[in-house]
Structure 1
């Protein structure tokens, strides 16, 4: 079975197309000013369907990609829970809070240095701090 370049790279293109939406939604949720979860899911689904249409994917390919995405999401959530449990074994709640506070301070300093004073859209530099802060 031969795959065209379009079919081969469709999952990567989908991920790239959805990434800005995911970062925006994550930043909005983090600030407490985001849209509700259902509206976000609906918007992401609309965006995914548009990407599928532009890539001219068959319904079978779309279903397979949706299944792969769901499996990936479940695996990431399970890994995050495992990581959080390990951090809880290493640090007390107070130490976790101190780590979180230190990361927030460093992020604020970084934003000031770069001229990003507000809590708007996040760039890729902010993601590492956010990931560690999730603990």
Structure 2
């Protein structure tokens, strides 16, 4: 069976596209920002988006199932790795030191994102006119 480029790359592109969604879902769950109902609604929206992406990519049911299983495996592995990292940090820093580090990182993130200079994701200027005027 000959596969088109679209069929060959669709699973990889889908995995790349869905990874940020999984990270956001995990971050929201970790920080406890939302109630159970909010998380359920968020999960439902992500499920609907995933199916829309599958449909647009032209993936068959077998491919969709395989990707769902792979993504679930990836998510579980990331959770395990995150837990392992947290345990190792706890071996190095006390609870107070971890809290201090967390607060310092939040302050720096807020300063960076709140400086009004239009920095992009990796600190690059998004507005080239602004860059040229400086």
TM-score interval, normalised by the smaller of the two chains: 0.7 to 0.9
Deviates more, 1:96-105 or 1:16-25: 16-25
Per chain length, whose mean CA-contact separation is higher, i.e. which structure has more relative contact order (CA < 8 Å, sep 6+)? 1
Match of 1:12 in 2: 12
Aligned: 1:90 with 2:108: no
Structure 1: gaps (5+ residues): 117-122, 127-135
Q: TM-score, normalised by structure 1?
A: 0.72
Deviations 1:52-86 (A, max 9, x none): 11111111111111110011011000000000000
CA distance in 1, matches of 2:116, 2:53: 33
Match of 1:45 in 2: 47
How many residue pairs were aligned? 120
CA distance in 2, matches of 1:83, 1:27: 15
Structure 2: gaps (5+ residues): 124-134
Match of 1:101 in 2: 103
**RMSD, aligned CA:** 3.0
Larger radius of gyration: 2
Q: TM-score, normalised by structure 2?
A: 0.73
Structure 1 segments (4+ residues) deviating >6 Å: 26-29
